[in-house]
Amino acid sequence: MLKVQQVSKWYEGNRGVHKLDFEMQRGEIVGFLGPNGAGKTTTMRMITGYLQPSEGVITIDGIPIQDKGRQARSKIGYLPETPPLYGDMTVQSYLKFVSSIRDVPAREQKLRISEMISRLGLNGREKQWVRSLSKGYKQRLGLAGAMIHNPDLLVLDEPTSGLDPNQILEIRQLIQEIGENHTVLLSTHILPEVDALCNRVLIIHEGELVLDGRPDALGGSMEDGFKVKVEIKGQREQVLDVLRAWGKVEAEPLTPSLSQDDEKQAEIERNWTGLLLTGASSEDFREELFYVLSEAKLPILEMKKENLSLENIFQQLTTREPGAGQAGDQAGQHLPSAENAASRDVTADDEEAVALGDKAEEEKDTGGHRS
Ligand SMILES: Nc1ncnc2c1ncn2[C@@H]1O[C@H](COP(=O)(O)OP(=O)(O)OP(=O)(O)O)[C@@H](O)[C@H]1O
């Protein structure tokens, strides 16, 4: 449903994002990760029509966001990091205002507002001033506003940032429910949030996409060697000799996990070898290892593939030179000339959307610096 094709954005003298290229299918919840300044907000603001790309095309259901902003935006809901709320409105009047701006037909507004109030747990707060809501409830109201026109795609910029642990769990639960009927693009710094919520993850580093995959299958996409934890019945030196002769893995010793009395422990260790083995490539060597050890009459007691955690993967990808990783298409490409690189202004067609978002976004833009 969403296609981001070769999209770049340059700010004056500053690279925002470079040649981003990805698609999102209906029903996906995609986690969008990257360190501070990586380009997440820039990407989200281009997808939602708040910013024009310097280069490239973004379409939603085939509709180009740059050319048909209003039509495209009717399919998108956006919750910026600081929701664009107006403190001197009540919950009810804010939702009425947003539904008018979002072109919800007048006869449907009442129903949509009451649906959003009950869906986001705002019952009983309809007449409360927005400024008096807690941060968690402001976030709920922001989400209600982003969803009032029943968009197909929801774009959420750090939706749990600044919330207390209970509020984080509540908002996560809501996003999970929302994800049952909507496609969601979610930026976050909280990696367990991605494991908990997302069926796909994109990692961006210095404006380039460096990883695209399922959170549970990311380990295999890394350049690191394949890792296996193995317990072998046999003396360590003997096992290490066999592995040295095989020559395909590096071995690090593991200590037995059993807590036994000293004598028993020593006996176990005499005829027990625990190792973490790392191959030279990501190729699975377990079958070959099985035959090598069985030929040497060294029985394998236990063997388990070691998966890299999302934290490890994130850390590896975002601490190396951009272009060195997975980016595939993006890697090694050059920036265009300065003339082409000038960023374009928001068009007249964007004004209405900006009116809704600018209050919050203005704060971020002041001084040309982003948080
Ligand atoms: N209005 C602006 N003017 C100039 N440079 C900008 C502007 N907005 C963003 N940038 C630059 O573009 C790059 C990407 O910033 P962006 O805010 O998209 O990153 P981010 O991944 O959302 O970061 P964070 O996690 O800190 O919010 C950064 O180098 C930033 O300094």
CA of 371 to the centre of ligand 1 (A): 7
Question: Does 330 contact ligand 1 (Cβ within 6 A)?
Answer: no
**What distance, in Å, lies between the first and last C-alpha atoms of the chain?**
30
CA of 42 to the centre of ligand 1 (A): 6
pTM over 0.90? The answer is no
- Closest residue by Cα to atom 13, ligand 1, is 16
- Closest residue by Cα to atom 24, ligand 1, is 36
Domains and CATH numbers, the chain: 2-220+311-368 (3.40.50.300), 225-307 (3.30.70.1560)
- Identify whether the C-beta of residue 207 lies closer than 8 Å to the C-beta of residue 17: yes
Atom of ligand 1 nearest to the CA of 207: 14
The mean per-residue pLDDT over the stretch 15-44 comes to: 92
Q: What is the pLDDT of residues 56-67, one digit of tens each?
A: 999 999 999 888
- Closest residue by Cα to atom 18, ligand 1, is 39
Indicate whether 260 pLDDT > 90.
no
Question: Does 42 contact ligand 1 (Cβ within 6 A)?
Answer: yes
Which ipTM score applies to this complex?
0.97
Atom of ligand 1 nearest to the CA of 43: 18
Atom of ligand 1 nearest to the CA of 368: 3
Question: Does 34 contact ligand 1 (Cβ within 6 A)?
Answer: yes
Atom of ligand 1 nearest to the CA of 12: 4
The owner of tokens 């927005």 is 130
Q: What is the pLDDT of residues 205-214, one digit of tens each?
A: 999 998 888 8
Q: What is the pLDDT of residues 36-95, one digit of tens each?
A: 889 999 999 999 998 999 999 999 999 998 888 788 888 999 999 888 899 999 999 999
Distance CA 259, CA 300 (A): 21
- Closest residue by Cα to atom 25, ligand 1, is 36
